[in-house]
Amino acid sequence: MASRSVNKVILVGNLGKDAETKFTTSGTAVTKFPIATGRRWKDQQSGEWKEETDWHNVILWRSENLANYLLKGKQVYVEGRIQTRNYEDKDGKKIYVTEVVAEDVILLGGRAGEAAAGSGEQAGGPVSMPRSAQRTQPPAAAPRDDFSQDITDDDVPF
């Protein structure tokens, strides 16, 4: 059996609510937010188009200034790994939680008609937010204009 394994997740989706940042007792920032991803397919029997939305809980460590940018409805690129942890609730029942531990988060765009002034982002361009300053990557390419999606609050089910 091979000694290597891979735990890599890449998601492009929309934030289901504004990100929340809290701090551990040692002062480490923990930012959490849900991302919705969807798929669309044509049903073979009925010929109708069907849609399905999956929700992913994302956790980002040591990036306390991101919550101002990660707002409900925004489209983001998240790269990281899947982690499953468990704990006991107040009734002693074991609870399992699966989440994406993000290494990189890139803001892909805003909601239609939203001004970028004051937010630190350029209109239509991505804002890259790496998890740590030690990790350097080339800047992300700007999204193609013919691929832009106008996402509004009505498009997100929360």
Q: Is the pTM of this model over 0.75?
A: no
Please state the rounded mean pLDDT for residues 126-135: 45
Q: What is the pLDDT, as a whole number, of residue 67?
A: 79
Q: How far apart are CA 20 and CA 57, in angstroms?
A: 12
CA dihedral 66, 134, 6, 79 (to 10 degrees): 20
* Mean model confidence pLDDT for the chain: 77
Q: Band the pLDDT of 153: cuts 50, 70, 90.
A: low
Judged against a pLDDT cut of 60, whether residue 100 lies above it is answered with yes
Judged against a pLDDT cut of 90, whether residue 125 lies above it is answered with no
Where b means 16+ CB within 10 Å and e means fewer, 53-68 reads eeebebebeebbebbe
SS3 147: helix
Q: What is the pLDDT, as a whole number, of residue 102?
A: 95
Report which DSSP code applies to 123: T
| 76: nearest Cα among 63, 90, 95, 94 | 63
pLDDT digits (tens, 9 = 90+) for 64-84: 777 788 999 999 999 999 999
Higher pLDDT pick, 132 / 32: 32
**For the chain, which domains are there?**
9-153 (2.40.50.140)
pLDDT digits (tens, 9 = 90+) for 11-59: 999 999 999 999 999 989 999 999 999 999 888 899 899 999 999 999 9
